[in-house]
């Protein structure tokens, strides 16, 4: 699984990019995006996903299968 960024909520502050331990987050258009192939949910690095922890607008959410 991985996390993703809700583009409509993201204010492009960049806080999450600096915190991601595997550099999975990069600017994309007017927002930021998470590479699902890189995201490890912070396992082995932190107790909780750091992008979720630092995002001021709760734009980082788990990818859910539909």
Q: Which residues bind ligand SF4 (CB under 6 A)?
A: 3, 5, 10-16, 19-22, 24-25, 32, 34, 39-42, 49-51, 54-55, 57, 59-60
The answer to whether 49 and 60 are in contact (CB under 8 A) is: yes
Token pair for residue 52?
A: 């979720």
Minimum CB separation of residue 66 from ligand SF4 in Å reads: 20
Minimum CB separation of residue 34 from ligand SF4 in Å reads: 4
**CA–CA separation, 45 vs 43, rounded Å?**
5
Minimum CB separation of residue 65 from ligand SF4 in Å reads: 17
Quick one: which H or E segment has residue 3? strand 3-5
């Amino acid at each position: 699984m991985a996390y993703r960024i809700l583009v409509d909520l993201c204010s492009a502050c960049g806080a999450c990019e600096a915190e991601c331990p595997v550099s999975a987050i990069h600017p994309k258009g007017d927002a930021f995006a998470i590479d699902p192939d890189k995201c490890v949910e912070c396992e082995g690095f932190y107790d909780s996903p750091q992008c979720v922890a630092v995002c001021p607008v709760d734009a980082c959410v788990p990818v859910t299968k539909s």
